[in-house]
Amino acid sequence: FGRKNGILASMINAPNKPEVLVADSGVAGPTVWLTAAVHGDEVGGTAVLHDLFDLFKSEPLKRGTVKAIPVANPDAWHKTQRLLPQTNEDLNDFFPGLPEGGAAEQLAYKIYTTITADAPQLVIDLHNDWRQSVAYLLLDPLSVTNPAALDEARRLAEATGLPVIREQEYEAEDSRHTLSGSLVAAGFPSFTLELGEAGVVNESQVRIGMQALWNALAALDMVDDRNNLADLTYPSTAIGKELLYAETH
């Protein structure tokens, strides 16, 4: 399907559980997981993932496998709201989850264990920030990370071409329960890709997200460089160094 049909399929085919997309090169290599719509109103990442998998049809992976959950929080997606509608809980506060916990804990556990079963070399969780936000990458605080996973997450984040921002230490306890934070703490390189403008599909942000993901895959030698998907031009002061989240406001 094209992206619009693909998003519609996500809504129809997965009303209560996340759908998984798979692109397998058939050649040994890294496994990368991508997720979107952990918050149900952050729909831009879903469009990015469907466009990326459409692109794989004409420009397939050189090696390895990419798997994606384009709608991680289907019930919230259906209502275009941030929180789980059953409990008004934020799914991104409950990772790695529990198999017999509440609704958020069970969904978090399902997502977390599905991803970690593959021992992925990279996990990118796509979110949307706010209307006037530029696209950026968010790393977890130093105190919640596995050092080796942190170094690899930082390397791949820098390869995307987007500004890289580290969450503040006072967010450390909360970060332990986000999808990316729980994964990095367990030794799996992961970071959050924040695109602007929740609640809508902003086509310029979709193109930026596509290029960022493609650049990360190229850094793992899974695809060839392809620099014409979007213009990732940012001020030189924002590139090549790690910023603190507070410095961006």
pLDDT one-digit tens code per residue, 174-185 = 778 999 999 999
Pairing between β-strand 190-195 and β-strand 136-139 as defined by DSSP bridges? antiparallel
CB 46 within 8 A of CB 37: yes
- Tell me what the pLDDT averaged over the chain comes to: 86
Q: Scan for tokens 């989850």, then name that residue.
A: 97
Question: What is d(CA 31, CA 65) in angstroms, rounded to the nearest whole number?
Answer: 5
Question: What is d(CA 85, CA 69) in angstroms, rounded to the nearest whole number?
Answer: 19
Up-side HSE of residue 222: CA atoms within 13 Å toward CB? 25
Question: What is d(CA 167, CA 244) in angstroms, rounded to the nearest whole number?
Answer: 6
CA distances, 133 to each of 47, 51, 196, 248 (Å): 18, 22, 5, 10
pLDDT one-digit tens code per residue, 144-195 = 678 899 899 999 999 998 989 988 765 666 778 999 999 999 999 999 999 9
pLDDT one-digit tens code per residue, 53-76 = 999 999 999 999 999 999 999 999
Question: What is d(CA 116, CA 178) in angstroms, rounded to the nearest whole number?
Answer: 14
Ranges of beta strands (E only) in 9-112 are: 21-24, 31-36, 65-69
pLDDT one-digit tens code per residue, 69-102 = 999 999 999 998 999 999 999 999 999 999 999 9
pLDDT of 206 strictly over 60:
yes
Q: Scan for tokens 């410095």, then name that residue.
A: 247
Residue 139 phi, psi (nearest 5): -95, 155
Angle between helix 44-58 and helix 203-219 axes, rounded to 10 deg: 60
What pLDDT is recorded for position 212? 94
Pairing between β-strand 21-24 and β-strand 65-69 as defined by DSSP bridges? antiparallel
